[in-house]
């Protein structure tokens, strides 16, 4: 299959060995060749004409036999992308879409190169990995542009029925809330294939569904969809059918449209750190009640009346919606006295938000610092649970620094002020607050920007506190965000103030460069942002890390160089080598000579060559999703 019409040929002629036919645009060449290991046999093949390394893209007698073992599933089409691969979206090399022909009742995958000068090919490895390569003229070699599978959680049905894989946890497997391992002893030996079963047998009375947020949808082989139904109509339809185990919107456009319903066991789910979707799973009424228990006592916060909050944000109007996550939605609003607020509303169907709600209240209720978001109070009334904060007019830090146009609003003085503000906020948490608090999820998305871009740390749902002389603790489950986790936390489940300092160092390098650590790519190497920054530092070229939108980097300021140096000190592999936050604040102020940093932790991991790439080429399954099976050469 040739990628473009220009690369085709309408020539009909006979050729003999030694002769070739070249496509119209000169990209491809057809002729005879001998494949490796073919014992001198000659085959008709097609290869790239314009590159020095002979790369055959297809030839006669090359036959692949698909097996029955599914290895990878993209998730169903959600109108914009395949829902299980949000990291593989639009990019600068190609675009794609799934096209539906209602007249002929057909669907097909449409793929188009955006730049005809880019040479790109798709390879299926013996291990079942789907990889895309692009040709780099400078190195005269093929560059691995992406691998469709992200990590172990992309292994099909790794956790069995009603299990959800979470690559941020250790171990990665877990049952959905309300479910337990079918055979606990097997799970103890790392065999999760039999999955999970319900704690409480399912009944078919009433409307009992729980929402699970930020997930990859389960296998849709036993599913049904309707493009025109609303989510409410979808819920009613699923409620009426006792065989319906779950429902959701079919598409994510226009706030969610269409209906997708599942029948039978839910298989091959995973938790996603971003761009996941919500699914509503049928539960027994008694189990739903257990999962939503929460009390008002000991919250130590002012209580807001529900009517006051409903008035403040126009009854939770979509126009006032600021964002959405696993906890629920965040809305902006204004109290009657003119004070602007942000309302974090726990979803009625959330199974993870109750604990986060209590944890956030416990850790932030009495904290007061100009670089921490101020919690004004809460509302627990009529089955509603909400937290009320000061409103941040400039949204979150990642909204600016990772956007080419918006990042131009952040000149170097603003970026340096943001770095210093985050450092002072962490210093307060680690040293000056009534408890020594470890945030555990510090990143660009949990830093909000107030007036004049003053940073304020948000989201203490995963925070933990130390008392007395305690300095290091171990957690049963690793939570947080990959790309910001320290090595000792991700691998050994150990967290301390030095875990936050590692996250701070990653954030500093991201603020300076305008690039994400997770998903960073560079044509010269496969390192992540930390490894790239380290290489530049060792070569005396660290100023090249500075975001080009900041301005002229030919005459760097001492602040820029010192900030890069401090960032590298904070991401060192050994937590004992990392400075404390009090040291960081002094270093950023320009006081004292800086020690030489050691190589960063996670130096060699270039996880996810891009957060926005995809190429799921294969046959479509029911409900418009793509699975990859292990292909065996015949």
Taking only the tens place, the pLDDT of each residue in 322-377 is: 766 556 678 889 998 888 998 988 776 554 556 677 777 777 777 888 899 888 88
381 shares its domain with 525:
no
Q: Which tokens go with 587?
A: 């270093």
578 shares its domain with 453:
yes
- Which pLDDT score is estimated for 476? 62
Residue 28 maps to a domain:
yes
Length of the chain: 634
- Which pLDDT score is estimated for 66? 75
172 shares its domain with 39:
no
Q: Which domain holds residue 502?
A: 398-588
162 shares its domain with 191:
yes
C-beta of residue 405 within 8 angstroms of C-beta of residue 377: no
Residue 340 maps to a domain:
yes
Domain boundary among 551, 571, 588: 588
420 shares its domain with 489:
yes
376 shares its domain with 402:
no
Domain boundary among 390, 410, 431: 390
Residue 622 pLDDT grade (very low, low, confident, very high; cuts 50, 70, 90)? very low
Q: Which tokens go with 492?
A: 């050994």
**CA 507 vs CA 245, 273, 402, 423: distances in Å:** 41, 17, 12, 11
Q: Which tokens go with 514?
A: 């305008």
Taking only the tens place, the pLDDT of each residue in 129-188 is: 888 888 888 888 888 888 888 788 888 888 889 988 887 666 777 888 888 888 888 877
417 shares its domain with 330:
no
364 shares its domain with 432:
no
331 shares its domain with 226:
no
What does the mean pLDDT of the chain come to?
80
State which H helix or E strand residue 165 sits in: strand 164-165
Total domains, the chain: 4
How far is it, in rounded angstroms, from Cα 207 to Cα 595?
62
The stretch 557-585 carries a mean pLDDT of 95
Q: Is 102 a catalytic residue?
A: no
Predicted TM-score (pTM) of the model is 0.53
Which of the following is catalytic: 154, 441, 608, 615? Answer: 441
Residue 136 maps to a domain:
no
Taking only the tens place, the pLDDT of each residue in 38-79 is: 667 788 888 888 887 888 876 555 474 475 678 888 888 888
Taking only the tens place, the pLDDT of each residue in 222-274 is: 999 998 998 889 999 999 898 999 999 998 877 688 999 999 999 999 887 66
Determine what percent of the chain is predicted with pLDDT higher than 70: 82
Question: Cis omega before residue 171 (within 30°)?
Answer: yes
44 shares its domain with 13:
yes
Q: Which residues are annotated as a binding site for ATP?
A: 344
Residue 619 maps to a domain:
no
381 shares its domain with 405:
no
Which of 522, 523, 563 shows the shortest CA–CA distance to 543? 563
Residue 17 maps to a domain:
yes
Domain boundary among 33, 59, 85: 59
253 shares its domain with 353:
no
């Amino acid at each position: 299959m040739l990628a473009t019409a220009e690369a085709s040929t309408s020539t009909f002629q006979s050729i003999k060995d030694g002769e070739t036919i070249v496509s119209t645009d000169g990209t491809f060449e057809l002729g005879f060749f001998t494949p490796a290991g073919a014992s001198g046999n000659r085959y008709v093949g097609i290869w790239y004409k314009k590159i020095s390394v002979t790369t055959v893209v297809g030839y006669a007698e090359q036959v692949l036999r698909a097996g029955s073992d599914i290895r990878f599933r993209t998730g169903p089409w959600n109108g914009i992308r395949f829902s299980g691969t949000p990291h593989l979206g639009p990019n600068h090399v190609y675009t794609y879409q799934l096209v539906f022909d209602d007249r002929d009742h057909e669907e097909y995958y449409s793929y188009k190169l955006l730049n005809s000068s880019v040479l790109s090919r798709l390879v299926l490895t013996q291990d079942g990995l789907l990889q895309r390569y692009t040709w780099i003229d400078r190195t005269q070699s093929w560059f691995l542009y992406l691998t469709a599978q992200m990590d172990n959680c992309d292994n099909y049905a790794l956790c069995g029925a009603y299990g959800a894989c979470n690559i941020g946890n250790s171990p990665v497997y877990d049952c959905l809330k309300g479910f337990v391992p079918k055979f606990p002893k097997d799970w103890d030996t790392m065999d999760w294939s039999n999955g999970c079963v319900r704690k409480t047998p399912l009944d078919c009375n009433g409307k009992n569904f729980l929402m699970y947020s930020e997930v990859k949808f389960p296998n849709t082989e036993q599913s049904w969809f309707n493009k025109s139904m609303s989510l409410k109509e979808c819920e009613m339809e699923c409620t009426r059918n006792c065989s319906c185990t779950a429902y959701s919107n079919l598409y994510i456009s226009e706030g969610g449209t269409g209906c997708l319903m599942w029948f039978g066991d839910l298989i091959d789910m995973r938790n996603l750190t971003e761009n996941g979707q919500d699914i509503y799973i049928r539960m027994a009424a008694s189990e739903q009640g257990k999962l939503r228990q929460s009390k008002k006592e000991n919250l130590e916060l002012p209580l807001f009346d529900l009517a006051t909050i409903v008035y403040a944000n126009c009854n939770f109007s979509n126009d006032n919606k600021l964002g959405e996550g696993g906890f629920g939605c965040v809305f902006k609003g204004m109290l009657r006295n003119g004070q602007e607020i942000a309302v974090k509303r726990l979803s009625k169907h959330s199974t993870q938000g109750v604990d986060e709600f209590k944890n956030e209240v416990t850790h932030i209720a009495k904290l007061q610092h100009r670089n921490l978001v101020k919690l004004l109070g809460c509302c627990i009334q009529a089955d509603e649970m909400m937290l009320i904060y000061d409103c941040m007019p400039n949204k979150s830090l990642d909204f600016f620094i990772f956007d080419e146009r918006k990042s131009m609003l952040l000149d170097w003085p603003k970026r340096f002020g943001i770095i210093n503000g985050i450092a002072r906020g962490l210093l307060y948490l680690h040293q000056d607050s009534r408890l020594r608090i470890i945030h555990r999820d510090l990143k660009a998305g949990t830093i909000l920007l107030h007036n004049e871009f003053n940073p304020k740390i948000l989201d203490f749902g995963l925070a933990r506190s130390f008392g007395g002389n305690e300095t290091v603790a171990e957690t049963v489950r690793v939570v947080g965000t990959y790309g910001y986790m320290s090595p000792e936390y991700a691998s050994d489940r150990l967290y301390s103030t030095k875990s936050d300092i590692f996250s701070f160092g990653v954030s500093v390098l991201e603020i300076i460069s305008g690039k994400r650590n997770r998903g960073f790519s560079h044509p010269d190497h496969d390192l992540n942002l930390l490894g790239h920054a380290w290489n530049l530092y060792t070569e005396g070229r660290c100023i090249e890390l500075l975001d080009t939108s900041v301005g002229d980097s030919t005459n760097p300021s001492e602040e820029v160089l010192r900030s890069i140096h401090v960032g590298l000190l904070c991401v060192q592999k050994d937590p004992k080598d990392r400075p404390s936050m009090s040291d960081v604040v002094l270093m950023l102020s320009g006081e004292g000579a800086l020690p030489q940093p050691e190589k960063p932790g996670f130096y060699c991991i270039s996880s996810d060559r891009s957060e926005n790439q995809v190429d799921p080429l294969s046959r479509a399954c029911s409900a418009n999703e793509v699975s990859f099976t292990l292909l065996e050469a015949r």
